[in-house]
Amino acid sequence: MRNRILIYGILVSIGIHFILLSNIKFNFSNDKSLEIQLVQMPPELIKDNLAPQKNINQETSENLKKSLKSRIKESEEKTYCELCGPVSNINETFEEPIYGESIKSIEMVYKVFHDLGPNKGSIDKIKPFGVGTQGSIKDEKNSISKVGSLGINYKVDKNNYEIYYEAKAEGISSFFYSQPLIQKSRGLINILGLRPDYYLYSHGKKKTSEAFFDWKSKTLTINRKETTNKYGLINQAQDQLSFMFQFMFLDPLNKMQIPITNAKVFKIYNYHYVDELNMDTKLGSLDVLHVAKFNYQSPERIDLWLAKKYGYLPVKISITEDDLSSIIQKIETLKIKKINE
């Protein structure tokens, strides 16, 4: 009886295991070995050597900051060119001192020529700007003659200046113009250059005119031929003589509108840029700036050739009249004394 019960139990057990094993699927087609990689625990994480989490984060953060700064510095040194660097590292260039500030005196001598022009100085034969059959090349050469010379002295005493101008006729012209032409200008020197207080134009006793600059009341008074005229004085106004030296203080290309008086009238003269060129003069070959006062409705004009080397002093001046004749002044000598000499 007991053997029979044991046999039944064994059979039941085998049946149960058979049922369970039949639901399990084994795939022997992909025979891959199981790889296990053992990683050693870092020393700082060993139980006996654990550091607080807070300290670890602080050290890591500081190390990252130092590393980042080092990389940025290396990158800047490699990529920045001289002009791309920080502004503080760029050497700033400073403008040279104004030419007129270092001048004590200037002596200038010009030769004066008269050019009759293509119309031979005859008003009734004027052709617009000389257009026409008048004036061949041979005639143009013969139309220019030396008529005189002029000297200009510019002196500085501390913050005061004086300019003396004297033109004398020579040759045949001296029979008609026996008296020299005198001009004088005096005033102060400030941050904007020359500020005239008085101007004189004199050609004989009968042709004398004066201009008085009252900067406090902003009034310009002109006395001429026993008449007096008053004008509202404009800032940075010049007389006909002082304006020649004003370019030593101000860039002529930045100051093309200049209020000027010739002791006859007072008006704003508009100068225009013409060109820049190299000119042969008695002082040698000079780089000059050519500016001119003109308008397209009249042949009258004034041309100035300003020497860059000498603070834009005029080395040639041409004054063209309405009949297209002109007076040309060319520099012969130039003597400059500086304050430290």
pLDDT tens per residue, range 174-192: 777 788 999 999 999 998 9
- Local structure of residue 141 (DSSP, 8 states): H
User: How far is residue 323's CA from residue 139's CA, in Å, rounded to a whole number?
Assistant: 16
User: How far is residue 29's CA from residue 70's CA, in Å, rounded to a whole number?
Assistant: 56
The first and second tokens of residue 211, run together, are 């201009």
Examine the pLDDT at 154 and tell me if it is beyond 90.
yes
Number of domains observed in the structure of the chain: 1
Confidence band for 106, pLDDT divided at 50, 70 and 90? very high
Examine the pLDDT at 7 and tell me if it is beyond 60.
yes
pLDDT tens per residue, range 27-36: 444 444 444 4
Examine the pLDDT at 103 and tell me if it is beyond 80.
yes
DSSP bridge pairs for 211: 199, 222
pTM of the prediction? 0.67
CATH code of the domain containing 286: 2.40.360
221 inside domain: yes
User: How far is residue 278's CA from residue 281's CA, in Å, rounded to a whole number?
Assistant: 10
Position 282 scores a pLDDT of 95
Position 142 scores a pLDDT of 58
- Local structure of residue 93 (DSSP, 8 states): P
38 inside domain: no
123 inside domain: yes
- Local structure of residue 192 (DSSP, 8 states): T
Question: 51-60 burial, b if ≥16 CB within 10 A, otherwise e?
Answer: eeeeeeeeee
Neighbours of 304 (CB within 10 A): 23
39 inside domain: no
Do residues 313 and 247 lie in contact, with contact meaning Cβ atoms separated by under 8 Å? Answer: yes
Phi then psi for residue 210, to 5 deg, are: -135, 150
- Local structure of residue 215 (DSSP, 8 states): T
Q: Write out the residue range of the structural domain in which residue 228 sits.
A: 99-338
User: How far is residue 138's CA from residue 142's CA, in Å, rounded to a whole number?
Assistant: 6
Handedness of CA 95, 99, 100, 103 (dihedral sign): positive
Examine the pLDDT at 138 and tell me if it is beyond 70.
no
Strand runs (DSSP E) across the chain, as ranges? 103-115, 144-157, 160-169, 181-190, 193-202, 208-214, 219-224, 227-232, 238-239, 257-261, 266-281, 284-295, 298-307, 313-320, 326-338
pLDDT tens per residue, range 310-338: 999 999 999 998 878 899 999 999 999 99
135 inside domain: yes
User: How far is residue 95's CA from residue 309's CA, in Å, rounded to a whole number?
Assistant: 15
Q: Residue 247 carries which side chain, given as an amino acid letter?
A: F
121 inside domain: yes
Instruction: Let me know if 185 is exposed, middle or buried by CB neighbors in 10 A (0-12, 13-18, 19+).
Output: buried
Instruction: Let me know if 134 is exposed, middle or buried by CB neighbors in 10 A (0-12, 13-18, 19+).
Output: middle
